[in-house]
Amino acid sequence: RNFANKLWNAARFVMMNLDIEDIALPEEDKLAPEDKWILSHFNAAAESVNTNLDSYEIGVALSTLYNFIWDEYCDWYIELAKASLTGEDKERANVTQNVLAYVLRETLKLLHPFMPFITEEIYSGLPGTEGSIMIETYPKASDALRFADAANMDKVIDAIRAIRTRRAEMN
């Protein structure tokens, strides 16, 4: 229930902040470090889900999706994207909207076998999606979404987590 609620709220946030007609990934040189980070992590999640489904490790595949959606997409990327969405740079906001929507759409496709009703409902509200999510191509890992400099963002996030942990320990 909590996960479905988190997914629904994330989708609502994304759709409320979209003013694009169709979802398209921007060129690599226009992507910010956080965009490359989430695309790389999505790519790794897609690869892991496909590998685990092929070996009938359904629980592991679902756990991968759960962690990606909850921890990386919702807790980090959406929060990082808010600054770009509300900023003055319209081109940057457009790139962020496309990345937000692309990752959401493709993640819904990965999640569809596990949660068909909610993923179908959210998918039908995304721009440029016609028909059912059920007949869409299931996402696979892509070399185009592997960014070597995405590890730099991992270091930033680890530092923020360490600061938050230390602050909580010190009250």
| Mean pLDDT score, 58-68 | 95
Q: What per-residue confidence (pLDDT) applies to 99?
A: 94
Q: What per-residue confidence (pLDDT) applies to 171?
A: 81
Model confidence over 21-46: pLDDT tens digits?
A: 888 898 888 999 999 999 999 999 99
Considering only CA atoms, which of 122, 168, 6 is closest in space to residue 75? Answer: 6
Q: Which residues contact 140 (CB under 8 A, 6 or more apart)?
A: 46, 47, 50
| DSSP codes joined into one string, 114-165 | TSHHHHHHHHHHSTT--S-GGGSPPP---GGG--TTHHHHHHHHHHHHHHHH
Query: Which of the given ranges, 79-83, 103-107, 157-161, has the highest pLDDT on average?
Result: 103-107
Model confidence over 117-167: pLDDT tens digits?
A: 999 999 999 988 888 999 899 999 998 888 888 888 888 888 988 998 999
Q: Which residues contact 103 (CB under 8 A, 6 or more apart)?
A: 38, 39, 42, 73, 77
**Are the C-beta atoms of residues 109 and 138 closer than 8 Å to each other?**
yes
Distance (Å, rounded) from C-alpha 131 to C-alpha 129?
7
What the block records as the tokens of 19 is 């003013």
Q: What per-residue confidence (pLDDT) applies to 98?
A: 94
